[in-house]
């Protein structure tokens, strides 16, 4: 199957499937300039268990997303303050050059 078809099955972008192929996670064959993957390789990825690090990363992302959802205004205010501080810092550096 094509990388586009695999992406639809996996629920990700075609580029992510290409990256998986390049990294050797998803076996493929080249047909001209196109990559073809086996359906068994794609279903194997769909059924794959997460490693301990992947599971930890997933939980961390969920915590961050949960905090963001709970108090979006506070997060945006802090981000705005950090950006302003960064811009000021960059201006100072540019003036010194």
**CA–CA separation, 29 and 36 (whole Å):** 5
pLDDT tens digits, residue range 27-39?
999 999 999 999 9
Neighbours of 18 (CB within 10 A): 18
CB distance 40 to 3 below 8 Å: no
Domain edges within the chain: 3-46, 52-96
pLDDT computed for residue 91 by the predictor: 77
pLDDT computed for residue 97 by the predictor: 67
- pLDDT (mean) for 20-25: 92
- pLDDT (mean) for 10-39: 94
* Residue spans of beta strands (DSSP E) within the chain: 28-31, 34-37
């Amino acid at each position: 199957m094509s990388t586009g078809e695999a992406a639809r099955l996996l629920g990700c972008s075609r580029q992510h499937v290409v990256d998986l192929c390049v990294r050797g996670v998803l076996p493929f064959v080249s047909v001209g300039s196109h990559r073809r993957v086996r359906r068994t390789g794609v279903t194997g990825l769909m059924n794959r268990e997460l490693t301990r690090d992947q599971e930890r990363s997933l939980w961390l992302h969920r915590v961050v997303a949960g905090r963001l959802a709970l108090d979006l205004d506070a997060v945006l205010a802090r981000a705005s303050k950090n950006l302003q501080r960064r811009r000021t810092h960059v201006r100072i550096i540019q003036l010194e050059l």
